[in-house]
Amino acid sequence: MGICKKIADVLFAALLLLSGVSFAQGGSFAKSPGALIKEADRLFDRGRNLQSAIDKYEKAFEEAESEAIKYKAIFRLCQGLLSLNRYEEAAERALNIPLPKGLRLKAVILLLRKEILDGLYEYYQRNYYWKREGGNTD
């Protein structure tokens, strides 16, 4: 009977891993960073509840051990912030994270930073430059 119990425990653990759930501290179940990203992607792609998607990306970023998952989460988090016109917050997040080690991920994060800074520049130019100079925005 002892071997059946061990097999059942192993199968249960495998089921949890396959479903994207891991056992968290405190005795409760928590979703893995990969599962959080998938949920957030569904919300983000539908354009629904972007703040909830951003929160899930944030949590995935904080909990991820894999560099690829960590930087996918921050990339999508920043895209969500841009979608909500929160350029300054997106810039702060993207500029304050260390660059990844891999060349491809590094290139993606650098391009993200450029996209955010371009958007921030256009936003300020459109909304503040003309008002300060007394110009017409038409």
Going by C-alpha positions, the residue among 32, 56, 62 that lies closest to residue 43 is 56
Tell me which architecture the domain covering 18-133 has in CATH. Answer: Alpha Horseshoe (1.25)
- pLDDT string in tens for the chain (138-residue length): 455 445 445 444 443 444 444 444 433 356 899 999 999 999 988 887 899 999 999 999 999 999 989 999 999 999 999 889 898 999 999 999 999 989 999 999 999 999 999 988 988 888 876 666 655 555
Report pTM: 0.68
Where are the chain's structural domains?
18-133
pLDDT at 17: 45
pLDDT in tens, 40-52: 999 988 887 899 9
The full DSSP string for 28-81 is -EEE-HHHHHHHHHHHHHHT--HHHHHHHHHHHHHH--SHHHHHHHHHHHHHHH
